[in-house]
């Protein structure tokens, strides 16, 4: 069985000159511009990181359990419901 590899190993291969799945380029210089001369990366989305909301966890898991924010029952798995982490019984599914 082959050895497990980190995702960083694949990212490094792409930086060295591998094929990019998004652009189809081979990493050669000058490929970042579209045929009309505009920067291809500029159209990908906002470049101001302050304008992007960070990801928020939707659940937590604790091996020795944690208290439900509503009923106080100690459970291993809790789900986010508004600002609280709650057990399955208290979650508004």
In tens, the pLDDT along 2-26 reads: 778 888 877 765 555 555 455 554 5
The sign one gets for the Cα dihedral 44, 46, 50, 55 is negative
Q: How many domains does the chain have?
A: 1
What pLDDT band is residue 70 in, cutting at 50, 70 and 90?
very high
Which structural domain range is residue 77 located in? 56-92
- For residues 79 and 70, the answer to whether their CB atoms sit within 8 Å is no
Is residue 77 in a domain? Answer: yes
Is residue 49 in a domain? Answer: no
Is residue 51 in a domain? Answer: no
Is residue 88 in a domain? Answer: yes
Is residue 74 in a domain? Answer: yes
What pLDDT band is residue 76 in, cutting at 50, 70 and 90?
very high
């Amino acid at each position: 069985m082959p050895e497990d590899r980190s995702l960083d190993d694949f990212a490094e291969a792409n930086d060295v000159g591998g094929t990019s799945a998004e652009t189809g380029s081979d990493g050669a210089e000058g490929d970042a511009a579209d045929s009309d001369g505009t920067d291809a990366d500029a159209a990908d989305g906002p470049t101001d990181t302050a304008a992007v909301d960070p990801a928020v966890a939707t659940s937590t898991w604790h091996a020795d359990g944690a208290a439900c924010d509503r009923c106080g029952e100690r459970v291993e798995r809790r789900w986010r419901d508004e600002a609280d982490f709650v057990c399955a019984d208290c979650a508004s599914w």
